[in-house]
Amino acid sequence: MISIQAQKQISTEAELAAINADVNALKERYILMNDITVENWIPIGDAEKPFLGSFDGNGHTITVMNFGDVRPSVQNLKTKTEIPDIQTFYLGLFGFTGPRSVVENLQVHGEIVFESAYNLMAGGITGVNVGTVRNCISVISVSPECKLESDATNPDKAGDCFAGGIAGINKGTVHNCYSSGAITAEGGKFTYAGGIVGLNEMDRGIIQWCYVLGDITSSGSDGERYTGGIAGFNSQGGLVQYCVALNENVLSNNPENSHTGRITGSNFGREGNNFSRRDMVVTDEKFDPKSQAIFEFSSLQEIQWWTENRHIRFAFGATTASPWGWSEELKRPVLHWETGATALDLSRRGRSETPGPATQTPVEIRTVEDLIAIGADLITLKRNYILMDDLTVEDWIPIGLLKNGSFSGTFDGNGHTITINGKIDIEETITKNMYSTIFVGLFSINSGTVKNLHVTGDFTCASGTVTLYLGAIAGSNAGKISNCVSTANISGNGGLLNARRGAANFFLGAASNSVILYQNGAYVGGITGVNNNLISNCYSESNISVTGKGYKSAGGIVGGNGFSNRGTIINCYTTGNISASEDDGVRFAGGIAGMNMFDASISNCVALNKEISTVGRSRGLRMDGMGINMPNNANCSVGINYAAPSSRNRNGLLQNVYYRHDMQVTKEKEEQEAQDGEPDRNVNSGDDNSSAFRIRNRGVSVNMADTQDQSWWIGEPKNFEFSFGTDDSAPWIWDEALQRPKLYWETIK
């Protein structure tokens, strides 16, 4: 920041008004030395003579009582041509803040009440921003009214109305601001009302780390209305990110011609990691789960939500770059220079209150109530736990699902068993949270460590029209799962055929390292629905079945491996039957994984499944359903290991993988039969754009009798070796009765 000596000091209303004196004054740098109240105010700058300097509010407040004889500008904002019949009023403390301008550390109070038949662009800080507004507060109510005076001979005479807590129109950057005043925009051909800005303009408008408290309303009998908690309209190329809408109401009195939303009324730009309160009242709401998530208002009043939520990224400190403090009285963030703000030393707080996994004493889990309590809030989801007894649960709600968070601590099963029975009913959760994607298992999403655990039972989950990821341990794994066993029979039904391609429900997707969905469906595995990190030394006896519309992918260990990151599965085996069925959409079934994507890898694994079956337009494979190059998505329906020549090594890797020779695979289309003990070779037939396929290393077939001898698992003639011992690093022991490996803690128990 420029030093105080280089800035002109503003102490009176007259000195503040003098900034408008000439174009040179509009380019100077200023600092406010005390609170000021202004009356009959003429906004600083307009489109013809914008403010191009810097204004540091220095933590002080300017109160705007009313406006004086404000003159409209005849300059059209978009075309820069004079249109005398459509003049524009720029209303705010500033009228127009131009390129390279900076307004910061300022609080504005008062009200903007103005009516005209011309364009009105009104904001608490500025009517139009093309520069930077940061670390500012608007407690100003903004109420412009555009009176329609169009007629058949001159339809363009009617003005447009833009109203925002910070700016009417933003073509620059708004960072780390909040607004608590009511925003009401009325009339006009087009009306834009938002808590931060009315219109976030194309290619340049950026809004980040802001929140809003006040009600937003648009009204009028004619014209189009765009009303949003953060922005009324986000144009193509505009960005709204890391923002929180705490508004109680976002309303329009004309639903037929209105576009109303929690974050934006209409979005043609980029949105992500935005949040809103669950009890917000929204007129004719059109919810977009890819760009926002909803929380109970009580959760949003907890300091942990703002400081521990990695998806919101508010920067707490006492600098321009980290401006946020916390008000325990208000139960929300405030700027560090505000009265009552408490600066947070998050590094010290993290060490003292939430020790990391290496130092944290595990919390003992002895009852079902203890187990449920892991998902109580974002703090409990970070702790370490150890299971002290076998537990049985009914009507299970996955840990972390209700708090929209991933488990990031350590869960040591300690050799015990959790039994999950019945139907996992998630319909109410989907409806209440407006999810487009759901992650279901003992844990919703694991981004920590789960080990030494046995999950069994017989459970089903139907997700209706949303995408389902279902597994015994977790719906999605973005962490590490090791030394675990699944003997649960798992049935999943989900998907929505012909759904738009795109990102998963972002707050879950980000927690699971941004799972990307290529088509809605259901992905079911014995351990997890999807794996984006590491699964090691696990086995599954689970019978897996998946039905529904869209993509169906079933695997003994995972439904899908490596959907976004390099998912790795190592030293695992399976024995259960795998099935993907129904006629709509595409099916994939694999002994280890239904899908093995991109740079994901499956190594040192054995598929001992008796049967893998698909019914419909399908593909069943012994090792993985497919390892495909997703940009050639149109070819995915064949369901095999496909790659265009230019992107072949983007396929998933299969290394040292085996399957029992007598496995029954229904609907498998063998391009080339594998011989006992011989890897399948790559096969290419015809044009890559035709229905010909390319198969990659699906594994080595092995006689079942050979796998029933321990020596087969520990050395020659194979290239892999299971580690036999009595601890987590060498977890396998030999079970002579089963004639296959099991985990060391099973014998200890």
Identify the pLDDT of residue 54. Answer: 96
Any idea what the Cα angle at residue 219 is, between residues 213 and 220, rounded to 5°? 165
Determine the pLDDT at residue 67. Answer: 87
pLDDT higher than 90, residue 61: yes
Is residue 682 predicted with pLDDT exceeding 50? no
pLDDT tens-digit series, residues 614-654:
765 434 444 444 333 232 222 222 223 322 221 222 356 77
Candidates 241, 235, 161, 236; CA nearest to 193 is 161
Alpha-helical segments (H) within 419-530: 427-433, 506-511
What is residue 511's predicted lDDT score, i.e. its pLDDT?
26
Q: Please provide residue 370's backbone torsions phi and psi, each rounded to the nearest 5 degrees.
A: -60, -40
Task: Assess contact for 598 and 630: CB atoms under 8 A.
Answer: yes
Residue 152 confidence (pLDDT) above 60: no
Q: Map out the domains of the chain with their CATH numbers.
A: 4-271+279-286 (2.160.20.110), 363-720 (2.160.20.110)
Most confident listed range (84-93, 267-276, 342-351): 267-276
CA distance 391 to 554: 27
Would you place residue 341 in the very low, low, confident or very high pLDDT band (cuts 50, 70, 90)? confident
Name the band, by pLDDT with cuts 50, 70 and 90, for residue 550. confident
Query: Is the pLDDT assigned to residue 261 strictly greater than 50?
Result: yes
pTM, two decimal places: 0.54
The Cα–Cα gap between 433 and 437 comes to 10
Cβ neighbours of residue 141 closer than 8 Å, sequence gap 6 or more: 110, 111, 112, 181, 182, 183, 184, 214
Token pair of 366 as six digits: 């002895």
Which letter, b or e, does each residue of 513-549 get, where b requires 16 or more Cβ atoms within 10 Å of its Cβ?
A: bbbbbbbbbbbbbbbbbbbbbbbbbbbbbbbbbbbbb
